[in-house]
Copies of this chain bind each other. A is one copy, B any other.
Amino acid sequence: MIFHTFTAAHLRAFTINVFIKMGCSTTDAELAADVLLKSDLRGIDSHGVARLSGYVRLWEKERINATPNIRIVHETATTATVDGDGGLGLVVAPFAMKVAIEKAAIYGSGWVAVKNSNHFGIAGYHALMAVEQDMIGISMTNASPLVAPTYANERLLGTNPMCYAFPAGKYPPVVVDMATAAAANGKLEIASRANQPIPDGWAQDKDGKGSTDPNELKSGGSLLPLGSDKDHGSHKGYGLSATVDILSAVLSGANYGPWVPPFVAFLDPPTDPVGEGIGHFLGAMRVDGFRPAADFKDHLDNWIERFKSAKTVDPDKHVIIPGEPEYAFEQKRSVSGIPLIDVVVEDLNVLADKLGIERLKV
């Protein structure tokens, strides 16, 4: 594979141009670009600018509203439901997280369910907004149905990520940001490109039999929940995914389970929706609502140090703190740039030509 490396600033300017061509306001285009770039900077290549043409295709099908009227439709002091009006999740979710943070600033915590939205990028971006305010951030979203619950031979759930982020003192934030499937779809795509089998326990074929074919999803197969099979706790991965689905969509009035509209524009949404768009769930809790923030950070630093210095099976490996690899990527790529594989660069330049904007400078 051939990689081309770009500065974050160059990719950001390109991305802003794309969103402006879609009709987004400058403010929204900048915010959406920041969310996508955060993913590329943090090394989560599957959720960054590589998805840009996917968002454009949804907009072309009129499944994304570039000028949404995002608004609170129901609330109490510390809870709210936000209607994303079909906007980019990249813009809707930060709006909702801001509402959660504002409520938390006054009352200690804030919780926002979102309906009528679209793919929101990496969950970590939104949770980290709270961390910047010395709050604990929580973010979740449901997603296109790809995962079969334990015993099922149907795709009923998305890879439904959940994220918990905590502010530390001298260390980077602890960020648990994970799909509730055994492996996210992006990992199957990487194996497929490399012509490699996937491990047992990631997917099953259309008959519900375990498979190591990375292309299984294209022939009617399903991803498996975290835990992979009943013996290894797949009912727990399924339970977590169900939790994300219920908080994000049953609570907000979005589509849930198999009714979630697919991210890919070539698949139409179900014709019998049970809600509006896809759903998210965002939360913020002030650390000093529980104990002084400095005490919490001191102890989280101690937690981090103890886990990092743990005895390991392989002396060349250390126990990884959740969020540590992504932080290291962010430090490195902010300086040395973001590598994109040539097929992604080509895809983005085809998009540039179509929209009549400047190409990426390779």
Contacts and interface: CB of A to CB of B under 8 A. Distances in A.
A313 B236 contact: no
B151 A290 contact: no
Contact of A257 (B76, B80, B166, B307): B307
Interface in A234-255: 235-240, 242-243, 245-247, 250-253
A245 B303 CA distance: 10
A312 interface: yes
A291 B226 contact: no
Given A239-B178, A240-B176, A307-B257, A108 B77 contact: yes
A122 interface: no
Contact of A151 (B80, B231, B245, B312): B312
Interface stretch (A35-43, A318-326, A327-335, A339-347): A318-326
A214 interface: no
A7 interface: no
Contacts of A314: 151
Given A232-B182, A275-B299, A290-B113, A239 B176 contact: yes
B251 A318 contact: no
A157 B60 CA distance: 49
Interface residues of A, number: 88
Interface in A164-193: 164, 166, 174, 176, 178-180, 182-183
Given A78-B78, A243-B176, A257-B307, A300 B153 contact: no
A109 interface: yes
How many subunits of this chain does the assembly comprise? 2
A94 interface: no
Contacts of A174: 242, 246
A64 to B, nearest CB: 24
Nearest to A198: B231
A290 B151 CA distance: 32
B290 A79 contact: yes
B233 A183 contact: yes
Nearest to A322: B239
A307 B113 contact: no
A156 interface: yes
Contacts of A76: 107-109, 286, 289
A295 interface: yes
Contacts of A109: 76, 78-79, 109, 111
A8 interface: no
A306 interface: yes
Interface string A64-94: 0000000000111111110000000000000
Given A79-B108, A287-B251, A317 B257 contact: no
Contacts of A290: 74, 79-81, 113, 251-252
A350 interface: no
Given A113-B290, A149-B307, A176-B243, 12 more contacts: A77-B106, A79-B108, A79-B285, A81-B291, A174-B242, A178-B235, A199-B232, A207-B313, A245-B303, A251-B287, A256-B303, A257-B307
15 contacts: A77-B106, A78-B289, A79-B289, A150-B320, A151-B317, A151-B318, A152-B311, A152-B312, A174-B246, A227-B227, A227-B232, A235-B322, A250-B300, A253-B291, A257-B307
